[in-house]
Structures are given as C-alpha cells and as structure tokens.
Amino acid sequence: MLPKVASADSLNKLMLIVGLTGGMGVGKSTVAALLSDLGAEVIDVDALGRQIIEPGGLAVSSVIERFGPTVASNDGGIDRAALASIVFGDEEQLTALEEISHPAINELLDEAVDALKTSDPIVVYDMAVLVESRLGYGTRHPYEVVVVVEAPMPQRLTRLQDQRGIKPDDALARIELQASDEERRAVAQFIIANGGDLDSLANATGELWSELEQLLASKKA
C-alpha cells in the first residue's frame, strides 16, 4: 500500500489523482483512453519525458552537461538514440539521467495539474515507471491511488509484435528491465486484467471509473 499523502495544496482536496501503470503490451494506453472518454483528465507522463529533452526543454542543458555534446541534436534538443546508447544497460548512467529528468518531469506534471479547468476532476497520470521511480509522487500533486493493468505474457508479446513490430525476444528483454507484475501488485489498489477483448476491457474500466468516482466523493465528504 502507498503511504498516506499529506495534501500539499488545497487544490488536491478537490480532485482524485490516480497513477496508472503496467508493463509493455498490457494495454495501459488503451485503459487511459477509455478513462479519458469517461471524463478523466489524463496526463501522459511518457510524453512529458520526451518534452523535457526537446528544443527548449527543461532538461536539455543539464543532459548535455552530464553526457557530453554527442547527445545534442541539430535542432537544439537531445538525440534520443544517442542518449539511449549511453544509458541502456548501464545502471549508473541511467541513474544519472533519472536524477536530471525526473524532477523536470514532475515540474511539468505540477504545471499540468495547476492548469486544469475541470471542476472536481479525476486526474490520471499515465506512466510506465510508477514503481521504479518517484515520478508523479514527488510532486505537489502526488497520486493517491494506483491502478495496474495486466495481461498474460503471450498476449503481450503478440501485441508488441503486431502493433509495434518488436520481436518476441527483444520484447522479453525489454520487459525484464521493467518492474515485475508482483512489484506492481504490491502498490496497487486496483488491478485491471486485460486478457480478453476490447469490450471486456471497456467494462472493467467502467467499473473502475465508478470506484474512482466513489473515492472522490468520499474524499470531499
């Protein structure tokens, strides 16, 4: 279970912030889209991670200072492939990158929540590395509930190959670098099993939405 979160901002009392996570190929993004259709304010944390190293991004100068000019792209941002070649498989270098990037991403998260116009929203942080980091938690608006999406491994591998062209062996290697299902379950308040068709997933997401609405109502009571 997550530790209790002390509200750092009165705005937090008027919303419910949900951390949505899951491994590659489980259908996390599909659940995020379904929640958005139901009325959630979804913030794509992975997109913020790309934003901070685009031209003018918060982390560009710090990344170049730490990893050298070879990671700079011609347009003034960061060459993601060049950076990945340095940090992939190197825990020390990856940690150094996270120490730069994660605070910058959390800063953008706070700005995104502050900018919301919806009254009493349910906010969803769509994020791959919830368990592995303090992304979305080390903010003024930390997530209070964790939803984990799961799917059987054969289906995950098939989806990754069909939808993203990632071969099963490569997919397994990437999945092994992520948190395990057991580690995600340890922090989850809700688990959505995505082993069926889209209709089944939509029904499960609808049931989750009802639970989240009840939590928000209880929080405001």
The model's pLDDT over 136-188, given as tens digits with 9 standing for 90+, comes to 988 889 999 999 999 999 999 999 999 899 998 989 988 988 899 999 999 99
Q: What residues does 122 pair with on adjacent strands?
A: 16
Q: Place 4 in a pLDDT band, splitting at 50, 70 and 90.
A: very low
- Longest Cα separation, the chain: 54
The model's pLDDT over 13-60, given as tens digits with 9 standing for 90+, comes to 689 999 999 999 999 999 999 999 999 999 999 999 999 999 999 999
The model's pLDDT over 86-138, given as tens digits with 9 standing for 90+, comes to 998 788 999 999 999 999 999 999 999 999 877 779 999 999 999 989 899 88
What domains sit in the chain, N to C, each tagged with a CATH number? 13-220 (3.40.50.300)
Q: What sign does the CA torsion over 148, 154, 155, 161 have?
A: positive
- The runs of H, that is alpha helices, within 121-221 are 153-164, 168-176, 181-185, 198-220
Q: Considering only CA atoms, which of 11, 39, 41, 42 is closest in space to residue 220?
A: 11
Q: At residue 206, does pLDDT exceed 70?
A: yes
